[in-house]
Amino acid sequence: MSNTAQDFIQAVRDNKDLRFEVEEIGQDITALVEFAKSKGYAFSEADFTAAVRDAGYNIEAELNDADLEAVAGGTMGPTNANNECAETELDCPSTDWPDC
């Protein structure tokens, strides 16, 4: 098993039980990283924040509820810089176009 922040995000997306546990933790990045460690993942808060950004979610210092839900497998699709549904492939930071 790979143990990067990206791998953790994908595991949360794929596993509803894991997703439920993450949703219970909320937006506390420190707690999320500690939880991930308890599941065999090893990455820093900075790595997690970067992975969330790389996944196309809008993040500042902390995850907001919408971003956390999206990371945890919510319904948010590819978005543009304004956190709106991307209207064109060029606006979409994700390779999932056109699944917006």
Residue pLDDT, tens place only, 10-53: 999 899 999 999 999 988 889 999 999 999 999 999 999 899 88
Q: Which two tokens stand for residue 42?
A: 């090893």
pLDDT over threshold 80, residue 74: no
pLDDT over threshold 60, residue 68: yes
Residues 6+ apart with CB under 8 A from 14: 73
The one-letter amino acid at 71: V
Neighbours of 44 (CB within 10 A): 10
Q: How confident is the model at residue 100 (pLDDT cuts 50, 70, 90)?
A: very low
pLDDT over threshold 90, residue 54: no
Does the predicted TM-score (pTM) go above 0.75?
no
